[in-house]
Structure 1
């Protein structure tokens, strides 16, 4: 699923998906400030000469987990699973606190008006760009199609390209199949 192209959608959607998916089941692509710096450089969000520090990394992780929680809300309720839910229950609160500290302004100097960061600190600028990406997706009407997998142990972000916006799993072959197998086992145990 990594690197899944958001077909028919703007690049900002892919950037949001890529950012949220820096955390996997057994890995964290933002585990160190060096990894955050690398991710931001790779996505052209940070000048080459700039580096992230530990505080920057912590704020980036809160942004990621807050966005994951918002994407989960774009999907149906999670299924019953023996695995723990991959959402942090404090993520929305932490995201609200973080967004208050990352100001955006309406830039009317270019073509169409757009939200732009109002900070010169390089990592804050990069994180503000990600927030502006969310606002762009909301304004374009594509935000509800960005979802976190319904499987609690996964919560991988994806773009729902289905006609009815009804996709619930990052992968029907993996997470969807897990749910089907568990349901089948419960039916057999009950019957």
Structure 2
């Protein structure tokens, strides 16, 4: 991710959601998930995880939440990159993750409360969401309106109206499709 935001937890959320890309999945195995979690200070060097499915559930649920922060998707001939059950699956997953309020820190903050390394990592990502909500920056975290893309980004526009991960790519696709529809109507 380009340095769209200087806030590490926000950047970490965007990068986590963007581990699923058109060219592959960066957390498609427990080993690749462990590598990603270590690189993002969510797992110590001596820890490993043995299941990547819950992390992928969290990722897709967060993608759905970020898409809800954006306008409705545009019409596209390509399939939508959102899993229709992602929100429900996220709700079920988050109910199992232990999170507690650390009142000894200043200011108090949400922290994971589990001996399991994967639970701690996923719960830290959820705490990042809570921090973004509390800071008022959550609505600026979005997923691209282009259904086939759904790339996560931080909307740093002044009026909070950015809707595409890239105007040059996804925004242009929408403009081209709209122009084609207009020409089809004119010909008919």
Is the structural similarity TM-score above 0.5? yes
Q: 2:150 aligns with which of 137, 155, 159?
A: 155
1:15 corresponds, among 12, 15, 37, to 12
Aligned residue number for residue 102 of structure 1: 97
1:187 matches 2:179: no
- Partner of residue 160, structure 2: 165
TM-score, scaled relative to structure 1: 0.95
Pairs within 5 Å for 1:1-191: 3-7=1-5, 9-53=6-50, 56-191=51-186
Partner secondary structure for residue 162 of structure 1? coil
User: Does structure 2 retain, via aligned residues, the 8 Å contact 1:6–1:13?
Assistant: no
**8 Å contact from structure 1 (residues 36, 52) kept in 2:** yes
Segments ≥4 residues shifted beyond 4 Å = none
Q: Pairwise CA RMSD of aligned residues?
A: 0.8
**Which string of whole-angstrom CA distances, capped at 9 and with x for unpartnered residues, describes residues 100-151 of structure 1?**
1111111011211000001111111011000000000000000000000000
1:16-57 per-position Cα deviation (integer Å, ceiling 9, x unaligned): 00000000123101111111001001001001111111xx30
1:128-180 Cα shifts (integer Å, max 9, x gaps): 00000000000000000000000000000000001110000000000000000
Cα separation, 1, equivalents of 2:49 and 2:117: 8
Cα distance in 2 for partners of 1:144, 1:161 equals 11
Number of aligned pairs?
186
Deviation at 1:74, TM superposition (A): 0.2
- Which runs of 5 or more structure 1 residues have no equivalent in the other structure? none
Give the gaps of 5 or more residues in structure 2. none
SS of the residue corresponding to residue 101 of structure 1 reads: coil
Please give the secondary structure, in 2, of the residue aligned with 1:147: strand
Taking structure 2 as the reference length, the TM-score comes to 0.97
Give the deviation of 1:6 after TM superposition.
3.0
